[in-house]
Structure 1
Amino acid sequence: MPGAEAPDLITLGRRIRHARTSRGLTLDALSERVGSAPSLLSLVENGRREPRLSLLRAIAEALDVPLADLLAAEPPSRRAELEIALERAQRGPLFAALGLPAIKPSQKLPVPVLEQLVGLHAEIARREEEAIATPEEARRANTELRLERQARDNHLPQIEAIAEDMTRRAGYTGGALMHRTVARMAEALGLTILHVDDLPRSARSVTDWRNGRIYLPPASIPGGHGLRSLALQAIAHRVLGHERPRSYAEFLRQRVEITYFAAACLIPQSFAVDFLSQRKREKDLAVEDFRDAFGVTHEAAAMRLTNLATVHLGIPLHFLRVGDDGALFRGYANDGLPLPMDVTGAIEGQLVCKWWAGREAFARRDRATESYQYTDTPAGTFWDSVQTGAAADGRQFSVTVGVPYAHAKWFRGRDTQVRRKSTCPDPACCQRPPVDLAARWEGVSWPSARMHQQILAALPRGVFPGVDDTEVYSFLERHAPDHPTT
């Protein structure tokens, strides 16, 4: 078969059949002209056998058709196009999973019926590609990713190398990664960063690959580090070779990878390891110093520590983001801390012990700086550094970085006298009310619970879950360079 421009076997077969039947020839008649068995020609026409070039030439000569016409990539007719689409759909795994008999797209099948069958198969494929997931499926996928990250100490060396190379090429020499440096990284990929005030509400950013544009919120919004991260995450999809996610698990994995890439650019590995190693030698490691040295948020610095501390400093550790209601929003541990989890192994939404530093921090009056605490648990004693903050919706949260007792010696705040004891998951630790209170109020009280509506809903539909495709496409059309009003 010649070159990369040759059609797929199904299209080739349909072009041969179209040329044969339009000349009123049967398979037997064509067989006699080319000297090949009718059964072989039938396999060729059905796209199940790749013909030799010599046979193709013989067929073209017998049918008085230029060889180039047989090798054309487009179907010879609308009917042939539908037959090809139906044949291809019925050979795929989606159709096989249905357990239904295949329909032979013969000449007896009316075109309207073909249109309907092809349309139904296309809709089935579209729904499959939407990456719909239930909360349970998402939690399982998230758990698998967390355990995978834990097994590799949350370190992805390939992404580290790519990020380091790109930042250096863009002129980074240390300190905070400037917006201009991020812009140069985008320009190296043929992309321009534009700030607009009409982004779709369902999207944090939108990338137009056709016109080489990354659309971000206005530069004047608070928290410039967020804009740098959003731009870097958009760049990451191209740099890491991502394709449209085929499942929610793949969507989550891509999110982990682009977030990692952004963090590795904002805090490049070699510069970060030099900084942390020096602080470790001085026994003065502190998340707030790491944060300030690279101009990122406290949470970003804390998460970045999980990427580097174990592999480069030999320090196992844990990270927690806890809401003011005690629910665990995000967590990581490779140091033996017993994270609360449900029967599936998921930790998201689970309540952490009331005596853990991540919840004790909310009782402090002074929250401007980090607080420190030792906590005795059934798995050993852990030292924690905690910083509280507020989310965009005003809700409070805490960010915890902690280590086993033996590694507290490397950190500032190790001399704290604050110490608590936790026996969770024993319900007697903090989940059961005191006996005297229970005796007084059990059976004579009936609180109205605050409902978390998200626990009842399936995750958002769409190839990119939660994103309104209509909004995004309308936005891109509105901002396209060739749009009349642009």
Structure 2
Amino acid sequence: MADLTTLGRRVRHFRTAAGLTLDQLGADVGIAASQLSLIENGRREPRLSQLGEIAARLDVAVADLLDESPPDERSGLEIELERAQKSPAYRELGLPELRPSRTMADDTLQTLVGLHRELDRRARQAVATPEEARRANTRQRRWMRERDNHLPEIERVADEAVAAVGHSTGALTHRSVAEMAERLGLTIVHVDDLPHSARSVLDPDRGRIYIPPASIPGGHGLRSLALQAMAHVILEHEAPTDYADFLRQRLEASYYAAACLMPQAPSVEFLQKAKNERRIAIEDFRDAFGVTHEAAALRFTNLATSHLGIRLHFLRVTGDGAVEKAYENDGLPLPVDVTGSTEGEIVCRYWSARQAFARTTRTTEYYQYTDTPAGTFFEATQTGAGSPGDYSITLGVPYAESKWFRGRETTNRAVSRCPDLSCCRAPDSDHAARWGGRAWASARVHTHTFSPLPHGTYPGVDDRELYEFLASHVDDD
């Protein structure tokens, strides 16, 4: 049965078009006028036999009554208003439901619907509070864990895209990426005036992908930016309805880009050979496909469990020990808050992710075995420097899986008892007795702690700045 509100409006539309009153139609089909009125108001579901009799009397097909589209513009506005007033956001206001009468002017109805649209837009933006964002991110991380961080449907789409431009293995060239864009009717345009809050901008109406100039440091990452923009077209993304939807789209776009840069078949072949030779190394995987260390490590998490049978964990950690990204399906006891989120939490100072910062030479990976309450893990960590500071990329596996990896002969070993406070967070008892309550420090405040997520269609991107950028490029050749 169609949506009852729309069904009722369509019955009313065809009844009035036939010039019948409720009493007349009710008498002809054997339904009391009061019951027919409930049907037209979407408050009662008619039996199929009754619907057939109504359709026959109005000289229309039953399918015409069950059509899910409003019969006219006025009915569409009435339906939208009724649905808006049933939303949780409106009900929380404690206001009565306003039913549009026949005498209500169209412009009045349009104003009411416009008001509800704006209320809905603001409510969806307000959902993206830091707490809700963390909960949404946690749900997504758990969802990916259930799938071993592997999305076969996107793998297939990416395989088709790279095959269409003749790419088979090795580094995907900028020219191949441009050809992939052309096949979608898109052109990659390098500009130096992107909105400060955006890494790239897609203008599907004009068929353009705007990304930074190719001459910037680390320009190899521009392939990924362009591919992520294409993903929104290929995967038919629309404006996100809430923060969870935004995260899903971002995940899918990033996954598609990685699957194009490191296609599944050659990547698995490369990694399987390395496993057979017991020399898996993320830095080799990185170099083979011409990507960043982080991209290679993340891509490894997509393929390791589903194709190599290896469970693992991934961490990106800042210089002060805060988690920026994390994934695990090997039981590593990640630090989490009450929402289950790990982003922003501090990892144990004895984990490889932080021990690697102590090295004076950081050009190669740092290897370490770490004993934890959940078992022993082998980890390989690469450090780097960026904005706003140092970071480390860690790929780790349970001890039993270390036999497949280069660096397993390391003698570096540490013991972590976290989340036990006595491990690395509680101060030494003698120090606490000496300095507790007697020392003051001026804290370095992280401004993002007090900042709400920026409002906008895409969280973090200023709508005004985005639209002004697009307007400034309307007349470009």
Distance 1:254 1:82 in 2: 30
- The 8 Å contact of residues 362 and 388 in structure 1, kept in 2 or not, is answered as yes
User: Per-residue CA shift, 1:384-417, capped at 9, x if unaligned?
Assistant: 1111101233x00111111122221211111111
* 1:429 partner letter: C
Find the counterpart in structure 2 of residue 64 from structure 1.
none
Give the secondary structure class of the aligned counterpart of 1:409: helix
Partner deviation per Cα, 1:307-333 (whole Å, 9 max, x = no partner)? 111221122111111111111111112
Q: Which consecutive unaligned segments of at least 5 residues does structure 1 have?
A: 1-7, 62-67
Q: Name the SS for the 1:252 alignment partner.
A: helix
Matched, 1:397 2:356: no
Gaps of 5+ in 2: 1-5
Distance 1:95 1:373, change over 3 A: same
AA of the residue aligned to 2:101: S
- State the SS of the aligned residue for 1:329: strand
- Shift, 1:38, TM fit: 5.3
The CA distance in 2 between the partners of 1:140 and 1:457, in whole Å, is 17
Alpha-carbon deviation of 1:452? 1.7
| Aligned match for 2:261, one of 262, 266, 272 | 266
C-alpha change, 1:362 and 1:33, in structure 2 (3 Å) is closer
What are the within-5 Å matches in structure 2 for residues 378-417 of structure 1? Answer: 378-393=373-388, 395-417=389-411
Name the TM-score, length of structure 1 as normaliser.
0.84
The 10-residue stretch of structure 1 (112-121 or 203-212) with the greater mean CA deviation from structure 2: 112-121
Distance 1:455 1:122 in 2: 31
1:139 to 113, 131, 134: 134
Task: Report the 3-state secondary structure (helix = DSSP H, G, I; strand = E; otherwise coil) of the residue aligned with 2:369.
Answer: strand
Letter in 2 for 1:333: E
Distance in 2, Cα, partners of 1:304 & 1:288: 12
> Shift of residue 418 of structure 1?
1.5
Number of corresponding residues: 463
Q: Deviations over 1:22-48 (max 9, x none)?
A: x9x965578899999755875686578
Q: 1:359 to 1:40 in 2, by over 3 A?
A: same
The amino acid across from 2:403 in the alignment is K
What is the root-mean-square deviation of aligned Cα atoms in Å? 3.3
Cα distance, 1:82–1:355 mapped onto 2, change above 3 Å? closer
SS at match of 1:130: helix
* 2:241 partner letter: R
Alignment correspondent of 1:244: 239
The one-letter code of the counterpart of 2:398 is: P
**Counterpart pick for 1:196 among 184, 191, 211:** 191
Report the equivalent of 2:306. 311
Alpha carbons of structure 1 residues 392 and 37: separation in structure 2 relative to 1, 3 Å: same
SS of residue paired to 1:166: helix
Amino acid at match of 2:278: K
Q: Does 1:217 align with 2:212?
A: yes
Q: Give yes or no for contact 1:132–1:462 (8 Å, CA) kept in 2.
A: no
In 2, the alpha carbon distance for the partners of 1:205 and 1:455 equals: 26
Partners of 1:323 and 1:77 in 2: how far apart? 54
- The alpha-carbon distance between structure 1 residues 89 and 422, as it changes in their structure 2 partners (threshold 3 A), is closer
How far the C-alpha of 1:223 sits from its partner, in A, is 1.6
Larger Rg: 1
1:431 aligns with 2:425: yes
Q: Is the 8 A contact 2:29 2:53 kept in 1?
A: no
Deviation at 1:206, TM superposition (A): 1.3
* DSSP 3-state at the match of 2:231: helix
Which structure has the higher relative contact order (CA within 8 Å, separation 6+)? 1
SS at match of 1:207: strand
TM-fit CA distance, 1:295: 0.3
Supply the distance in 2 between the matched residues of 1:221 and 1:14 (Cα, whole angstroms): 63
What's the counterpart of residue 453 of structure 2?
Answer: 459
